[in-house]
Amino acid sequence: MRKYALWFFRQMSAVCGRLLLRIIAGLLQVALGLWLVWLCRRFIDVVIWRGDVLRETIVLFSVIALLIALRQLVFYLSGITEVILQNDMRSRLFRFVLGRKLYAVKHQAEAGSGKPASDMLSGDISQRLERDLSSASSVVTDILPTIVVTLVQLFGAFFLMRSIDSILAWSLLVLTPVVAVCAKYLGSRLKKMTLAIREEESSIQMMIQETVEHELTIKTLQAESTVSGRVGSMQQRLHHLVRRRIRFTLISRLLLAFTFSYGYFGAFVYGAIQLKNGLITFGVMTAFLQLVGQIQSPIMSLLGMIPQLIHASASVDRLVEIENTEQEESLVQADASIPLQRACGIRLQDVSYSYPDERKKVVVSHFSYDFRPATSVAIVGETGCGKTTICVSCRVSSSPIAEG
């Protein structure tokens, strides 16, 4: 958890001012909402009997108008902040992608980040820079500020309710431990499901991208049905994973929704009994019902944010893999280039390569070829067959031993 908190905190540097404005606007919205509850209670119990009804009505309308304006301001600030943060994160991660060593395995093995750089193919990187980046940025620009505002609303409504009826206030707050237990149970299960879904989405993205890039070759080989069938199988696996996650989330949400709905009903019955016995006024009863919503709504909002945070943590893990890739030396740091008087060729003899992870997959086996000077060679094949491996082998072995 600390690792994710530090990562999100680092992302805030580009949008700190706007996030602060977003939180201040949300807190003002909470304060006005609680003030509106107090005004409504006072309007029913006092003003309507012996006060200036017109003046109080204008005040109520003004407060409601300010609440509407603040909601639109929060929406505007959230949208602008998210665009700015996404652009900043995308630019930084894109520099990591462009500067990475294609076969930098050592650094990642030490960092324990999982997938080596050579496994991050174009479709997988596109998925990370779009879907995962969007999921992670929404936490910084929307979820974290909303959590701050929601907690303030929860405690503000609780203390206001406590000043009216402490028994009802504490009985509603007792639901919070239930939410905490459910959150812990949801966390571990949902993260595993989300990681599996993200990996399957990346596989589909890579497959579609490779298909579009090699459309002519696929049609020449009359492999349209084979490719379509493969994509269909991958989509079926994705469909199964998503259905499983939705089913799990739905059952949890139903149980908690029943808990909160009956909590609201219990508050309504309790208030009606108190009203019948003459222990509270009708204005207090109205405040009861409003405050019950203002206590339960934050708890439900926090509950709804738990799956989003879990999904985002899975996305952060995938983005950190890009950040942990070992980088090439810059042109300034690199050794001076060696001027060549003539065109050079590259000769590979008995080259073999396999991934140094648990799969031990052999990519190139005993490959030999003479890339003669001033000639063009097309290296074709499906994803993972070794095209990039051969290109990298040519690059790392291109120190000239003789001219000609």
Q: What is the pLDDT of residues 4-46, one digit of tens each?
A: 888 888 888 888 888 999 999 999 999 999 999 888 888 888 8
Residue 332 lies in a domain: no
Domain with 376 in it: 346-396
Residue 183, pLDDT above cutoff 70: no
pTM of the predicted model over 0.75: no
Q: Clarify whether residues 285 and 373 are in a common domain.
A: no
Q: What is the pLDDT of residue 337?
A: 56
CATH number at residue 281: 1.20.1560.10
What is the domain count for the chain?
2
Residue 344 has pLDDT above 80, yes or no: no
Give one word for 127, left, alpha or beta, with left for phi > 0 and alpha for psi -120 to 50: alpha
Please tell me whether residues 262 and 389 are part of one structural domain: no
Same-domain check for residues 76 and 200: yes
Please write the tens of the pLDDT for every residue from 215-247: 778 888 788 888 888 888 989 999 998 888 888
* 309 and 369 together in one domain: no
* pLDDT: which is higher, 88 or 399: 88
Are residues 14 and 93 both part of a single domain? yes
Q: Region 179-205: what's the mean pLDDT? A: 73
For residues 315 and 386, state if they share a domain.
no
User: Residue 221 domain-assigned?
Assistant: yes
Q: Is residue 333 part of a domain?
A: no
Residue 8, domain member (yes or no) = yes
Residue 143: name the closest of 26, 248, 275 by CA: 26
Is 135 found in the same domain as 8? yes
> Is residue 339 in a domain?
no
